[in-house]
Structure formats: C-alpha cells, structure tokens
C-alpha cells in the first residue's frame, strides 16, 4: 500500500488514527502492530510470515545474547538475517554471474523481492548488535519488538530507525496537539513533494526513455530531472514517515538535509539518506577499523562500505559500480582533493558536486552499463543526435515550471524565508492562519491528481 494512494489516505490512515486514539494507552502498541501487519499484508501477503519469522528470530536471539554474552550467538543470529536477505535479494544475481563466468546453465529461481526487507533487516541487525554491545536493553516483549520492526510509517521505505531512537517511546510516548499538527504538516509536505513534483518529473523522464527523438539538450533535461526526481521521491517518503511517526508519538531522525547544496561528495553523504550512511559507518566502517589503523586499511574500509552500499541498493552491476564510484571519489577527496576543494569558489564546488551526482544517478538508474554509457556520452553529443528537436522543446515548455519549482525546492530557500517571516509577530500570525488552509488545499490538489493520474511509481521499491 502506497502512502500516495486513495486507499491509504482516505481509508486506512483515518481508520487507524481514530482507533489508535480511542484505545487505552496500554493497547496502542498492539493497534499499531495490527495496523502494520494489515498494511504489509495488503502489498505482500505471502511475505508477512517471513517478516514475522525474522522478528521472532531476533527476539529469541537478542534474549540469548543478553543472557550469555557470547559472540557466537551474535554471529549466528546476524548470519541468519543476512542469509535470508541474500537469498531473497541476491540469489539470481549470483546465479546469473556464475552462468556468465563459467558458461553454466543454472536456472534462475526468480524469487520476488519482499518489500522493505532491506530496511527491516538493517533495523533488526542494529538492534541485535546494540544489545550485544550493551547500548540498549533487551526487549522482553515480543509485541513491542514486533511493533518496532514492522511500524508501518517507515516499514517499506525507511528511514532506517534504530531501536535506541525509539526504545523509550515504545514504553511511553507523549501525544499532544503540537505533535499531531506537526505530523500532519510534515506528512502533507512529503505528500506534495511526491505527487506534485516527483511524479511529474518521473513523467518527463519516462518521455525521454520511450522517445526516439532524443537530443543533446534532452539528455541534459533527463539527467537533471532524474536527479531531482529521486531526491523528491525518496525524501518525500522520509517526510511522510517522519510525519506519521510524530502523529503516533514517535520521533524519527531526519534522513535528508538538502544534499544538493553540498560542496563535496563527503558532505553530500552526510546529507543524503543519513540513516543509511550512519548505519554503515557505525556497523561496518568503524568495526572494520575506520581510520584508526593507517591509510591503507582506511581505504580498504571505505571501499568495503561502498561496495556494500551499492549492493544494498540492488542486485545488479550498475549498483556495484555506482557504490564503488562514490568509494573512489571519497578516497580521492580524503587523500588529495579535499584540501584543494576548500580553496575553490563555492559555485565551482557545487558544479563539481552536481556533475558527479548527475552522472552517478545516470548509472544508478540504468538497466545496464551500456544504457548508462549511452546516456552519459549523449550529454556531450557523441551519440550523433542534434542539439535540440521540436519534441525536446515541447517537453521543456510542458515541464519548465515543475523543473524550476524542483530546483528551488531542493534548496533551503523556502524554509529560510519562512523561518525569517515567523520571527516577525504579524507575519507569524498570518502564517499560522494560512498554514491549515494550505494543508487542506494541498490535500485537495493531491487527491485530484491521484484520481486523474495513474502514474504514481515509487523508485525505492526496486531496492
């Protein structure tokens, strides 16, 4: 079930909220668990038992780890969860590569990927590891652990919520009008970003993919549009998850912080998909030694993290290359380029950052490296197309407004202006009056768009 569907917005969510708030506090985790099970069952009925089995394994494993403090128990429990992730996500990738390298003819299993498995597996792993380290207490209630893992606001698309972040809120969380109104506002902003910006950018990208009338200018429009689409698509779902979490009393950490205003790749990955970056840092990079054992091992650790980051996003070589590309660039910035970057003018730093990100997402989006290369060299006219066509100009005229809105929206400009206005007493009163009206208007516009338009993909379902 998508957050951006009529069934979620006008049936599932209002019913869950109503039942949740009329239920006694002691029963609210149970209501959320049941709601999360229904939410997941709606999209993945056969894999709900897989998720429940993983939660049970984590529950028993963590209790045993806490009791006996044995590393072997930690290794076994982690291996089971990683093994299940590999079976469902990477089996066909491994088989196809064996067939390719050795000329074998092993049949692909064609196992469908359970929605959200990458996210909930990482949440389970962080919980188990933190119990072993003594950072969090073991959860003796299966219901509470299951609620944490399956919580529907962040189940299918993150952010990756660590157990320590909501450990206390599973037992006792505060509900207030302020939290509820913030949650509604944040959810609505995410909804608008997804439906009114990301989906329209997706339409433009799709027009480029299916047309035979490509041009150099259209390659640039596509590259910029996809870079913006994936940001608005994923950050919108994070906004909606954070908003929904707040409605139910949970405080999820931020997952995006205007990454396209970064001045280096290093800074970019502090701002993009923060929950994933910090997860790999804390549970892979630092345990491998981080930067504590000399430059050679640090380089090894960075490459290991980015190889795994690429694979986490998908079982395909373009994701591996995408991850390693960032690994190598981060190493170059760390070893050599970083000190020179500081001396460059800000606009040069941003051009450097945006060009690398744009090319990286061309690779990320491609069905094959051949397609990626074709789209990259198309930017400089090596595919033989003309600079511009009538169809390119038609598409540009049709989507120029949304492109401008997306570019502005990818910066903190609107946020900064709003915060400055709120410091003025009169302006703040006007904003407080207009804000709920704007939320209602956005919901009406989004609803009209969803009813009228069937193009409503979610990019991260691929991963």
Is the N-terminal amide bond of 159 cis, ω within 30° of 0? yes
Residue at 85 is within a domain: yes
173, 205, 232 - which closes a domain: 173
As a whole number of angstroms, the distance between CA 355 and CA 337 comes to: 16
Instruction: Specify whether 301 is located in the same domain as 428.
Output: yes
pLDDT band at residue 367 under the 50/70/90 scheme: confident
pLDDT 10s digits, 20-41: 999 999 999 999 999 999 999 9
Q: Is pLDDT at 123 greater than 90 in this prediction?
A: yes
Instruction: Specify whether 271 is located in the same domain as 355.
Output: yes
Instruction: Specify whether 258 is located in the same domain as 296.
Output: yes
Contacts of 365 (CB under 8 A, 6+ apart): 226, 230, 372
Q: Mean pLDDT across the stretch 1-20?
A: 93
pLDDT 10s digits, 285-330: 999 999 888 899 999 999 999 999 999 999 999 999 999 999 999 9
Q: Are 155 and 188 in contact (CB under 8 A)?
A: no
Q: Is pLDDT at 336 greater than 90 in this prediction?
A: no
Instruction: Specify whether 274 is located in the same domain as 393.
Output: yes
As a whole number of angstroms, the distance between CA 316 and CA 367 comes to: 9
Helix (H) or strand (E) holding 463: none
Instruction: Specify whether 185 is located in the same domain as 276.
Output: yes
Q: According to the model, what pLDDT value does residue 253 have?
A: 93
Residue at 117 is within a domain: yes
Residue at 222 is within a domain: yes
Give the range among 185-189, 261-265, 416-420, 454-458 with minimum mean pLDDT: 454-458
Q: According to the model, what pLDDT value does residue 458 have?
A: 59
Q: Is pLDDT at 457 greater than 90 in this prediction?
A: no
- Determine whether 336 is exposed, middle or buried from the number of CB atoms within 10 Å of its CB (0-12, 13-18, 19+): exposed
pLDDT band at residue 7 under the 50/70/90 scheme: very high
pLDDT 10s digits, 68-103: 999 999 999 999 999 999 999 999 999 999 999 998
Secondary structure letter of residue 106 according to DSSP: P
Instruction: Specify whether 51 is located in the same domain as 145.
Output: yes
The sign of the dihedral angle between the CA atoms of 335, 340, 345, 351 is negative
What residues act catalytically?
Answer: 313
Q: According to the model, what pLDDT value does residue 244 have?
A: 97
Instruction: Specify whether 166 is located in the same domain as 231.
Output: no
Q: According to the model, what pLDDT value does residue 150 have?
A: 95
Q: Is pLDDT at 454 greater than 80 in this prediction?
A: no
The sign of the dihedral angle between the CA atoms of 53, 56, 58, 64 is negative
pLDDT band at residue 168 under the 50/70/90 scheme: very high
Angle at CA 29, nearest 5°, toward 23 and 34?
Answer: 90
Residue at 1 is within a domain: no
Instruction: Specify whether 194 is located in the same domain as 76.
Output: no
Token digits of residue 8: 């979620």
Q: What percent of the chain has pLDDT over 70?
A: 98
Q: According to the model, what pLDDT value does residue 460 have?
A: 56
Instruction: Specify whether 76 is located in the same domain as 121.
Output: yes
Q: Is pLDDT at 234 greater than 60 in this prediction?
A: yes
Can you tell me whether residue 304 is helix, strand or coil? helix
* Segments forming the whole domain that contains residue 355: 179-462
Secondary structure letter of residue 45 according to DSSP: G
Instruction: Specify whether 110 is located in the same domain as 166.
Output: yes
Q: According to the model, what pLDDT value does residue 293 have?
A: 87
């Amino acid at each position: 079930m998508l957050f951006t569907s009529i069934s979620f917005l006008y049936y599932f969510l209002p019913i869950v909220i109503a039942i949740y708030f009329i239920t006694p506090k002691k029963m609210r985790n149970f209501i959320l668990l049941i709601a999360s099970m229904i939410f997941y069952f709606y999209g993945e009925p056969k894999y709900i038992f897989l998720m429940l089995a993983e939660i049970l394994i984590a529950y028993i494993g963590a209790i045993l780890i806490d009791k006996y403090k044995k590393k072997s128990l930690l290794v076994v429990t982690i291996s089971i969860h990683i093994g299940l992730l590999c079976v469902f996500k990477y089996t066909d990738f491994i088989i196809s590569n064996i067939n390719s390298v050795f000329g074998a003819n092993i049949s692909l299993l064609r196992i469908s990927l359970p929605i959200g498995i990458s996210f909930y597996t990482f949440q389970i792993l962080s919980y188990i590891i933190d119990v072993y380290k003594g950072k969090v207490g073991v959860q003796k209630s299966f219901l509470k652990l299951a609620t944490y893992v399956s919580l529907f606001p962040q189940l299918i698309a993150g952010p990756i919520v660590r157990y320590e972040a909501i450990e206390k809120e599973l037992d006792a969380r505060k509900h207030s009008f302020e939290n509820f109104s913030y949650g509604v506002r944040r959810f609505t902003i995410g909804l608008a970003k997804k439906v009114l910006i990301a989906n329209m950018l997706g339409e433009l990208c799709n027009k480029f993919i299916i047309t035979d009338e490509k041009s150099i200018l259209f390659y640039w429009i596509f590259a910029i549009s996809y870079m913006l689409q994936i940001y608005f698509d994923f950050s919108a779902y994070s906004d909606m998850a954070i908003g929904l979490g707040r409605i139910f009393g949970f405080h999820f950490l931020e997952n995006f912080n205007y990454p396209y205003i970064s001045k280096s790749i290093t800074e970019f990955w502090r701002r993009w998909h923060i929950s994933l970056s910090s997860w790999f840092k804390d549970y892979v990079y630092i345990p491998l030694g981080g930067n504590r054992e000399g430059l050679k091992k640090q380089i090894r650790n960075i490459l290991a993290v980015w190889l795994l980051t690429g694979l986490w996003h998908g079982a395909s070589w373009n994701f591996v290359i995408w991850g390693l590309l960032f690994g190598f660039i981060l190493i170059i910035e760390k070893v050599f380029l970083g000190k020179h970057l500081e001396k460059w003018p800000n606009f040069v730093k941003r051009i450097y950052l945006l060009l690398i990100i744009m090319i990286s997402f061309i690779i990320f989006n491609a069905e094959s490296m051949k397609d990626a290369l074709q789209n990259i060299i198309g930017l400089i006219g090596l595919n033989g197309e003309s600079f511009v066509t009538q169809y390119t100009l038609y598409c540009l005229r049709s989507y120029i407004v949304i492109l401008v809105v997306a570019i502005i929206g990818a910066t903190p400009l609107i946020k900064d202006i709003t915060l400055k206005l709120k410091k003025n007493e009169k302006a703040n009163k006007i904003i407080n009056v207009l804000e709920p009206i704007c939320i209602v208007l956005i919901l009406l516009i989004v609803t009209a768009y969803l009813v009228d338009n069937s193009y409503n993909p979610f990019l991260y379902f691929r991963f």
